[in-house]
Structure 1
């Protein structure tokens, strides 16, 4: 066979270079295209905000004690821990008429809307807990692909804008949803049920939330188009998969976690610890068994691939683990104990049928609306902070503001002054929802964007499981069962998260 001439070789190289230049340019999206792509987050956060601000109220109204609330809330983080990596794994491999991520948007939105309609009509505590499980699982089915969609559709330079837009919609949706029962009460809707059941203010808020959630997600599905998998592989921001990780070494950390879980089981029996601590022990044992199995198995399948990706995660994810641990521990403490803490400490009641309790619970909805509103404003300010100070110092600053806000609950006794506390919490909230993803996204392999975003959720879920396991115990042993101290622990946790952030190397500045 004749060798090609130098002219032919040069011509082929020129054609290849031209084709590469043509194929690898990912188009920048307009403001409104990014807006439409992220708009579904309004609906998802509407559902989450109604859940965060009202589910503890529903549980207490149906007979749950303050000490039982963390265990009942465990449905939320556990469903995210299980669902998001699975959805990410399969959405990376999906392509049909609706696209890659949008089929999961639709399925999750439908089931979440149905759960929102049923939850305020639950006749018993066990049914309300089951509906919380369904609601949170369904929202997670939609939410994880929304995170991956930003990485799929936007060039590297626009990804911070996309995540900031999601933070804005999270704040905007949550403001309206959190304040809705309070607004309905001001318009004369009954805020105390005649039979001690769920008030009409909560019921109508959940009905409206179901409609908003489904409508917002449908808008994104109908007006957004996705790149095909082949197109994604051709772009210049394509991050290839790294070398395979030797998972045979996963058995050693697996045995350590398994041993820790068994030790905690013995401690529960010996010291008579709260039943919620079983959650922590079970989590350690389950995760230890999975890692031990990963180190020994040679089988192929979804579970092995997800666990292998977890064990071989990028170094940037490992460095962010401590930051996420303390950040989400603090947020979960705020979500599950603010209603009980404010009503007991500031409104001086634990009677869920009293007008004082329901007035205080509604004011907590206003406070949650406030921190989400401040978070929406912070979403516009944070890019300016990053431009001036960088990602790391910006995140440290915002976490410190949030820590100060939660710690102030220990000292403030006028409920209106708590709005100022929520300003700091709002900045921390917007930062937690955006800057860790900005630190992470450029290092995630393109072909596994979905599964790695799902795995990153582990560092959101695990601290929530930890909070549900130990907060009740800490309040009993150290704080005489006063739930307001859970908010103090949350404030301290955000300050520790800020310290952990200082140990993350500052990435290159974005232009």
Structure 2
């Protein structure tokens, strides 16, 4: 084995540049999270089938991330190791963002709802092509002792992008003056322009990372990670059949580090809950706070009445915009907590920080029940003034707990996991780890709509409470995770004290 050379520490701004592109990726991802259900409903999807459309997102991650992770582990060219995939994914994602809210242009070829679903698939696949190498890029470029800082900065940038993306349709409506109501089978102009701006932000920020981050050469990387180049080159030189590649992949999957298996349980509960929030917050608060009956989310009923009453369209538009506000709020709380996350994790430990954060998120979901007040109040949001139900204002409080949970979910699992992975296979293992994100979302997508329809009678607020229960179960599961890096640090301190 080659003698391992100490990897040089990076300056704060070098670490910042490595992750800066994630700001734009999350800008686009936040626009999708806050508006995809709204878009698909406007295009004709019924309430309980929304989660089936959303399965596209984790399914694309399940397929794309391991493939891209494995490919980027083996890629070394003049553009870098991870950067080519990051750039290609950003281009495809920007195209998907530009076309998805314009589904009505495809009416001569297919139903707009189907076209919207296809663009959602393209957009999600591209997001995953871009996201996976970003995770591995931090592990590649940032030395172990700066890993908490690296993933915390990544979490901060993710949440800055999420704030901007979530609030954008609201700003375009209430500050710029674009219309936020949608005609049957079409998407509101404010949402269309938000997606155009999001695509621009995504592509621009990714270009910043690609051109400002010079990846290590194979020789440097192998030296810093202690990888035997001779053995590695022998392994890469072997030509394998598809069956052999699949067999090797499943061996890696079965033989994943113990820490990854333990984190998978936590990931299951937390991502099951997050998926519910992204899919059903819009109908939940539209029904629970704005008082719009569930029948106004049923395309068969909408067809039977012909025209959506102006007050119903206005209420759905206002509630959809407010989802952007509360999603921006949880992202803002997450961004603030991300700044403190490294210090808190170093002081109290990663596991305790992670567990308490998920607990606060679960409490946040359940507390939605406390904010049903429909009394209209006038609110000054600095950039504009609006009239909204009092309960909608109250929803800003649970967003603090949800934001803290989100910041921890973005940083802590990767910080815990990264030190337990073999350096030569970081990319493919990070891709495999995405299974623990995608699988619970796929399961949630399959069963959440059925639970909503047959157990909760399409009252979407109840499924948000269910998300809270799952998040609390995730908090409990953290107790059983082994943090190898923390254990090693404790052992070194005990040895030094002896």
Q: 1:212 aligns with which of 198, 201, 221?
A: 201
Aligned-pair Cα RMSD in Å: 2.1
Query: Is the counterpart of residue 380 in structure 1 residue 344 in structure 2?
Result: no
Query: Is the counterpart of residue 419 in structure 1 residue 396 in structure 2?
Result: yes
Contact 1:232 1:446 in 2 (8 A): no
1:46 to 1:329, Cα distance in 2 relative to 1, 3 A: same
TM-score by length of 2: 0.84
What is the deviation of 1:349? 1.3
CA distance in 2, matches of 1:91, 1:298: 19
Q: Show CA shifts across 1:98-132 (max 9, x none).
A: 01000001110001001111111002000000000
Query: Is the counterpart of residue 105 in structure 1 residue 82 in structure 2?
Result: no
Query: Is the counterpart of residue 161 in structure 1 residue 146 in structure 2?
Result: no
Contact 2:44 2:185 in 1 (8 A): no
Q: How does 1:58-457 map to 2 (within 5 A)?
A: 58-123=39-104, 124-187=112-175, 188-193=177-182, 197-235=186-224, 300-350=243-293, 351=296, 354-413=313-372, 414-457=391-434
Contact 1:391 1:435 in 2 (8 A): yes
Which residue in the other structure is 1:293 paired with? none
CA distance in 2, matches of 1:306, 1:72: 28
1:92 to 1:169, Cα distance in 2 relative to 1, 3 A: same
What is the deviation of 1:88? 0.3
Contact 1:239 1:446 in 2 (8 A): no
Which residue in the other structure is 1:459 paired with? 436
Would you say how many aligned residue pairs link Structure 1 and Structure 2?
437
What is the deviation of 1:306? 2.1
1:447 match: secondary structure: helix
CA distance in 2, matches of 1:429, 1:486: 19
Which residue in the other structure is 2:236 paired with? none
CA distance in 1, matches of 2:228, 2:418: 10
Q: 1:499 aligns with which of 464, 476, 492?
A: 476
CA distance in 1, matches of 2:145, 2:46: 49
2:396 match: secondary structure: helix
Residue range with higher mean Cα deviation, 217-226 or 229-238: 229-238
TM-score by length of 1: 0.82
What is the deviation of 1:238? 5.9
CA distance in 2, matches of 1:183, 1:412: 24
What is the deviation of 1:474? 1.6
What is the deviation of 1:476? 2.7
Query: Is the counterpart of residue 40 in structure 1 residue 25 in structure 2?
Result: no
Larger Rg: 1
1:363 to 1:299, Cα distance in 2 relative to 1, 3 A: closer
CA distance in 1, matches of 2:226, 2:363: 39
Q: Show CA shifts across 1:134-177 (max 9, x none).
A: 00000100100000001111110011111111100110001011
What is the deviation of 1:304? 2.6
CA distance in 2, matches of 1:191, 1:135: 23
What is the deviation of 1:38? 0.5
CA distance in 1, matches of 2:482, 2:50: 38
CA distance in 1, matches of 2:137, 2:325: 31
What is the deviation of 1:194? 5.2
CA distance in 2, matches of 1:104, 1:438: 23
What is the deviation of 1:196? 5.9
1:343 to 1:238, Cα distance in 2 relative to 1, 3 A: farther
CA distance in 2, matches of 1:402, 1:501: 14
The answer for unaligned runs of 5 or more in structure 1 is 1-15, 241-296
CA distance in 1, matches of 2:363, 2:97: 33
Q: Show CA shifts across 1:330-373 (max 9, x none).
A: 00000000001010111011547510111011000101111111
What is the deviation of 1:298? 9.5
Which residue in the other structure is 2:455 paired with? 478
1:235 match: secondary structure: helix
1:372 to 1:80, Cα distance in 2 relative to 1, 3 A: same
1:99 to 1:508, Cα distance in 2 relative to 1, 3 A: closer
Contact 1:92 1:447 in 2 (8 A): yes
1:105 match: secondary structure: helix
Contact 1:395 1:501 in 2 (8 A): yes
CA distance in 2, matches of 1:130, 1:449: 31
Contact 1:238 1:445 in 2 (8 A): no
1:306 to 1:358, Cα distance in 2 relative to 1, 3 A: same
1:95 match: secondary structure: coil
Q: Show CA shifts across 1:13-32 (max 9, x none).
A: xxx9xx94xx6021100011
CA distance in 1, matches of 2:223, 2:456: 57
